[in-house]
Structure formats: C-alpha cells, structure tokens
C-alpha cells in the first residue's frame, strides 16, 4: 500500500495536506484544476519535493530518506521524457543503469520491451525523428524496464492527438494488466480516467477527496 500520513507541504502562501492510502495494485486518477496541487502530490511521491511534516510509506517502509532514483517509483512525464541527443536504445538503457553500462542480457531486454510497446526496430532512432505518441511509448518502455511497483503518470496523454491518445490508453491498460503496478495518474480529463478504469480522486480545498460516484480502488 502507498500511504501518505498527514503529509503537509507549503509552497509560498499555498498549503496542502495529503492523508490517504492507495492499494498496491490499482489505477488511481487524480483530477483537479490547474494549480490545485496535483503535480505537488506526484512530486512528493516521486521525491522531487520533501514534505514539511508527515510520512510517505510504501508497504510500511518510509520513503522520505530515499533519493528519487532509490524510490520504488517510476514516472511517465507529460513531456521532456527523453534526451534528444541519445538514441531510443540509450534513452531506455538509462533506466537500467545511469552510466549505460549494460550486460548483453540487459541490452537484449531493451529490444524485448520495444516489442512490447510496438516499436520494433526503433533502437537506433533519435527522439527528434519520432512522433509524439512514439516518444511517449519509448518513455513507457523505460518505465516498464525499471520494474518499479509504483507508476506515476503526469498527464501522459495531454500532448497527444485523439487517435494516438486512444492507442496509448489501450497500450497502458494492457501493460498495467500484465505488470499490475500501483498507478497514480494526474489528469484534467475525466474521460481518460474512465477509459483507464481508474478510481477517481479529486483535489479539493487543498486536499484529496475520494470521488463517491466513482468505482473504488480494489486490491485483488
């Protein structure tokens, strides 16, 4: 379980309080207006920000002392997921080793994960030659290879056109069914949340409230 226990954070004059528990295997969509604190929530879980007080736990263990790369978390950002001067293969390889020192098995696993996201033969391509949807798939492939139990999705479809968005939702749904991570997705669009069969949480009055009309997150 991912637990945020009375987590308080202040940024300037804004204050947020997060106190909730998310199930180990489930898709949770966090909805809210721009500036409502959705990204602050993701930044806290990912370790880009430290709370003023409270604790963040995964399976009972506190995450606060861990650097972002040591947390059981991987993030698919809205954009800027890839280094434009590195090939697809290198971008994914960074998820395995930050110095790109890969064994033969690890190098082979990159080809396999590219197959999983439908990008066979893209190893040597540079991100600049890919479409927005393909770039997001490469980033997703890296998230998959990192095999972290918490997957954070920071508005992952907002920069995509309608068709690519549908394809990406289908791909993500398949991947989630296969790997069964704890997914937290930040989005403006309730339709995306419904399409992902997510339990809905709403940012309200600087705290997160469960959406009573939506399906509760289940831990099967």
Residue 68 vs 121, nearer CB to other proteins? 68
**Interface characters, 59-88, with other proteins (x: CB under 8 A):** --------xxxx--xxx-x--xx-x-xx--
d(Cα 68, Cα 7) in Å, to the nearest integer? 17
Residue 107 binds to other proteins (criterion: CB under 8 A): no
Residue 46 binds to other proteins (criterion: CB under 8 A): yes
CB of 75 to other proteins, least distance (A): 5
CB of 94 to other proteins, least distance (A): 5
CB of 10 to other proteins, least distance (A): 13
Helix H or strand E encompassing 70: none
Residues contacting residue 202 through CB under 8 Å, at least 6 positions apart: 30, 31, 32, 208, 209, 210, 211
Neighbour count for residue 210 (Cβ, 10 Å): 14
170: tokens are 């289908």
CB of 145 to other proteins, least distance (A): 11
d(Cα 176, Cα 6) in Å, to the nearest integer? 29
Kindly list the residues in this chain that would bind other proteins in the complex (CB under 8 A): 46-48, 67-70, 73-75, 77, 80-81, 83, 85-86, 90, 94-95, 98-100
């Amino acid at each position: 379980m991912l637990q945020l226990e009375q987590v308080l954070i202040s940024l300037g004059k804004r204050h947020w309080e997060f106190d909730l528990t998310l199930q180990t295997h489930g898709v949770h969509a966090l909805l809210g207006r721009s500036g409502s604190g959705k990204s602050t929530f993701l930044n806290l879980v990912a370790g880009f920000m430290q709370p003023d007080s409270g604790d963040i736990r995964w399976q009972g263990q506190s995450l606060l002392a861990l650097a972002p790369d040591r947390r059981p978390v991987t993030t698919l950002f809205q954009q800027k997921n890839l280094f434009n001067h590195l090939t697809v293969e290198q971008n994914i390889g960074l998820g395995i080793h930050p110095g790109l020192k890969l064994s033969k098995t690890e190098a082979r696993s990159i080809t396999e994960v590219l197959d999983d996201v439908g990008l066979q033969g893209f190893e040597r391509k540079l991100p600049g030659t890919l479409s927005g949807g393909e770039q997001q798939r490469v980033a997703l492939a890296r998230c998959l290879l990192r095999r972290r139990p918490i997957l954070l999705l920071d508005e992952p479809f907002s920069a995509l056109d309608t068709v690519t968005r549908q394809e990406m939702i289908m791909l993500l749904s398949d991947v989630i069914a296969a790997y069964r991570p704890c997914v937290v997705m930040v989005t403006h669009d309730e339709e995306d949340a419904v399409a992902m069969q997510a339990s809905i949480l709403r940012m309200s009055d600087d705290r997160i409230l469960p959406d009573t009309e939506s399906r509760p997150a289940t831990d099967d």
